[in-house]
Amino acid sequence: MTSDISYKVIVGLEIHVQLCTQTKMFCGCALQFGAQPNSRVCPVCLGMPGVLPVMNKHAYEYSVLVGLALNCKVAGFTKWDRKSYYYPDLPKNYQISQYDLPLSENGFIEIPLESGETKRIRITRAHLEEDAGKNLHTAGNFSQVDLNRTGTPLLEIVTEPDMSSGAEVKALAVELQRMVRYLGVSEADMQKGHMRFEPNINLVITKGGKEHKTAIVEVKNLNSFRALERSVDYEVQRQLDEFIDSGKVMEMGNKSTRGWDDDKQMTVLQRVKEEAHDYRYFPDPDLLPVELDDAWLEQIKSQLCELPIKKQIRYVSEYKLSDYDAGVLTADRSTAEFFEEAVKAGGDPKRVCNLITQVGLKLANEAGCGIAELSLTAENMSELAKMIDDGQVSASAGNTILEQMTKTDKAAQVIAEELNLIQKSDAGELEGIVEKVLAENPKAVEDVKSGGKKSKKAQGFLLGQVIQKTKGQANPKVVSEILSKKLS
């Protein structure tokens, strides 16, 4: 039955990103997560009679910055519109948003695929609006409203339906999170609701040479990347099963909304048919249109940085790092910048990368901070990398030194000397020890000289003996060279 069926997955995303400005979008209230309910409010965000909104310029600049990072066309002229609907968490019963003139549109984002390649997902638009409050249904027969979140600047990003799997949706989400954090415009913590993703999913099924489209499902309540990915995969299977079972396909407007149940790992039907909403958009007469002139745009552009995906690709091509390592280093901006500074100071990229990924990030994690906030300078880091590469200290001693560096403020060289970790590389001194070892182990010498199977093992044994005699301070590379010379 299913053998003649093939299908294509079509997913688009609607994303809401809370911007981390000091104050709200249209009033002076502080933005603070987890404060006492209704303690971060004023007449303006409470929608009291007579109040007027005043635009937060920083929020606008943050949004333009994201628009630029998303390769969008940024509008020189925009305005604010009122979107009307009645809901208790919306005190004015209209939301100030942008309707027909979004501040940016027609862009794209590159997302990394598991294959190591990237895929381009088109961005329809990104516009700024104010967030609503929260309705709390915890108190018996009535509901409560917390308006602390009301008026938080919210960037709405809409993608084209260019994704075709849960993995791609997740990749976009992770990439966007990394991007807005790089730009410093959002904390982008999904658990805290800083980023909210609503995928729109449907399938194009080919059966018996005929194409059928399943109805579009929008999924809500997704508060982790995992939930986002799984909900898409779940929907794909569910829609396919439903089609096979019932043959149900898309009809005019039969879009539905489903909520993700994280305990049951499934989507649950919330609303069958999207109500025909008439939001009665019209330009907000309380706010002036925004004109973004060249000078202002240039000033915003100067705050742009190299985006994480570009960095990641560059690290692979320029520094010959693995895609995985490049991904770890570019996961956050301060780590990437620390890495680049250390490389600029002369450290070998691969060596610096290893020090950061194998030890540095672990130490930072334990200290609960970023690597740049440990008492480590990029110069010290590059010095340590050079010492390892020059054979002054072994790689494992390097790790020990790095750990000490974060605790003591001392330079790598000083720590290495204090801890006796400097390797002996003086050929003359080491030759004496080698001769002594050779004299003490005639059997092993014989094995080496005889060649064959045992030769390699015996040479390793002799090397080990020399290292042991120097209490681990002999440079293995130098010792190997002397051994080879003596035994050839």
Partner 1 sequence: MPNDLLNMDCKQLREQIAAGKVKSVEATQAVFKSIEKNDSKIGAYISTFKEQALAKAKEIDDKIAAGESVGFLAGVPVAVKDNMCTTFGATTCASKILENFHAPYNATVVEKLLAADAVIIGKTNMDEFAMGSSTENSGLKKTVNPWDASRVPGGSSGGSTAAVAGRLCFAALGSDTGGSIRQPASFCGVVGLKPTYGRVSRYGLVAFGSSLDQIGPVTHTVTDAALMMNVIAGHDVADSTSVDEQNAPVCDYLENIDKPIEKLKIAVVPEFNAGADEPVQKALSDAIEVYKKLGAEIVEVHMPHWDYAIAAYYMIATAEASSNLARYDGVHYGHRTDNPGDYVEVYTKSRAEGFGKEVKRRIMLGTYALSSGYYDAYYLKSLKVRNLIRGDFTSAFEKCDCVITPVAPTTAFKAGEKTDDPLKMYLSDIYTISANLAGIPGISVPCGFDENNLPIGLQILAPAFAEDKLLRIARMFEKQTDWHTNRATID
Contacts to partner 1 by CB under 8 A: 43, 46-55, 82, 84, 86, 88, 91-94, 143, 145, 278, 280-282, 285-288
Pairing of strands 266-271, 118-130: unpaired
CA dihedral defined by 344, 348, 350, 352, rounded to 10 degrees? -70
End-to-end CA distance of the chain: 72
Cβ-based nearer residue to partner 1, 101 or 316 = 101
CB of 80 to partner 1, least distance (A): 10
Cβ-based nearer residue to partner 1, 52 or 136 = 52
Cβ-based nearer residue to partner 1, 46 or 305 = 46
Residue 282 contact, options Zn ion, partner 1, none, Cβ 5-8 Å cut-off depending on partner type: partner 1
CA 331 – CA 308 distance, rounded (Å): 7
CB of 284 to partner 1, least distance (A): 8
- What is the Cα Rg of the chain in Å? 30
**DSSP for 333-389, written as a single string:** HHHHHHHHHHHHTT--HHHHHHIIIIIIHHHHHHHTS-GGGSS--HHHHHHHHHHHH
Residue 23 contact, options Zn ion, partner 1, none, Cβ 5-8 Å cut-off depending on partner type: none
Nearest alpha carbon to residue 243 among 208, 197, 275, 200: 208
Cβ-based nearer residue to partner 1, 89 or 233 = 89
Residue 93 contact, options partner 1, Zn ion, none, Cβ 5-8 Å cut-off depending on partner type: partner 1
Structural contact between residues 309 and 317, judged by C-beta atoms closer than 8 angstroms: no
Amino acid at position 76, single letter: G
CB of 51 to Zn ion, least distance (A): 9
Count CB-CB contacts under 10 A for residue 142. Answer: 6
Residue 55 contact, options Zn ion, partner 1, none, Cβ 5-8 Å cut-off depending on partner type: partner 1
CB of 40 to Zn ion, least distance (A): 7
Structural contact between residues 405 and 376, judged by C-beta atoms closer than 8 angstroms: yes
Burial class (CB in 10 A: 0-12, 13-18, 19+), 420: exposed
Question: Collapsing DSSP states into helix, strand and coil, what is residue 122?
Answer: strand
Residue 108 contact, options Zn ion, partner 1, none, Cβ 5-8 Å cut-off depending on partner type: none
Cβ-based nearer residue to partner 1, 79 or 207 = 79
Q: H/E element holding 90?
A: none
Residue 287 contact, options partner 1, Zn ion, none, Cβ 5-8 Å cut-off depending on partner type: partner 1
Cβ-based nearer residue to Zn ion, 37 or 259 = 37
CB of 291 to Zn ion, least distance (A): 26
CB of 144 to Zn ion, least distance (A): 19
Residue 64 contact, options partner 1, Zn ion, none, Cβ 5-8 Å cut-off depending on partner type: none
CA 248 – CA 240 distance, rounded (Å): 10
Name 357's bridge partners.
none
Nearest alpha carbon to residue 88 among 130, 136, 51: 136
Cβ-based nearer residue to partner 1, 95 or 200 = 95
**DSSP for 469-484, written as a single string:** HTTT-B-HHHHHHHHH
Cβ-based nearer residue to Zn ion, 151 or 166 = 151
What the block records as the tokens of 319 is: 């520094």
Cβ-based nearer residue to partner 1, 27 or 416 = 27
CA 66 – CA 185 distance, rounded (Å): 8
Residues of the shown chain interacting with Zn ion in the complex, contacts defined by CB under 5 A: 27, 29, 42, 44-45
Structural contact between residues 205 and 7, judged by C-beta atoms closer than 8 angstroms: yes
CB of 154 to partner 1, least distance (A): 20
Structural contact between residues 187 and 77, judged by C-beta atoms closer than 8 angstroms: no
Number of helices (H), then strands (E), in the chain: 16, 17
Residue 82 contact, options partner 1, Zn ion, none, Cβ 5-8 Å cut-off depending on partner type: partner 1
Residue 45 contact, options Zn ion, partner 1, none, Cβ 5-8 Å cut-off depending on partner type: Zn ion
Angle between helices 453-469 and 427-440 (to 10 degrees): 120
CB of 84 to Zn ion, least distance (A): 21
Cβ-based nearer residue to partner 1, 88 or 370 = 88
Residue 91 contact, options Zn ion, partner 1, none, Cβ 5-8 Å cut-off depending on partner type: partner 1
CB of 101 to partner 1, least distance (A): 14
Residue 29 contact, options Zn ion, partner 1, none, Cβ 5-8 Å cut-off depending on partner type: Zn ion
CB of 44 to partner 1, least distance (A): 8
Cβ-based nearer residue to partner 1, 2 or 138 = 138
CB of 124 to partner 1, least distance (A): 20
**DSSP for 223-265, written as a single string:** -SHHHHHHHHHHHHHHHHHHHHHH-----TT--EEEEEETTTT
Cβ-based nearer residue to partner 1, 99 or 461 = 99
Question: Collapsing DSSP states into helix, strand and coil, what is residue 448?
Answer: helix
Residue 288 contact, options partner 1, Zn ion, none, Cβ 5-8 Å cut-off depending on partner type: partner 1
CB of 406 to Zn ion, least distance (A): 42
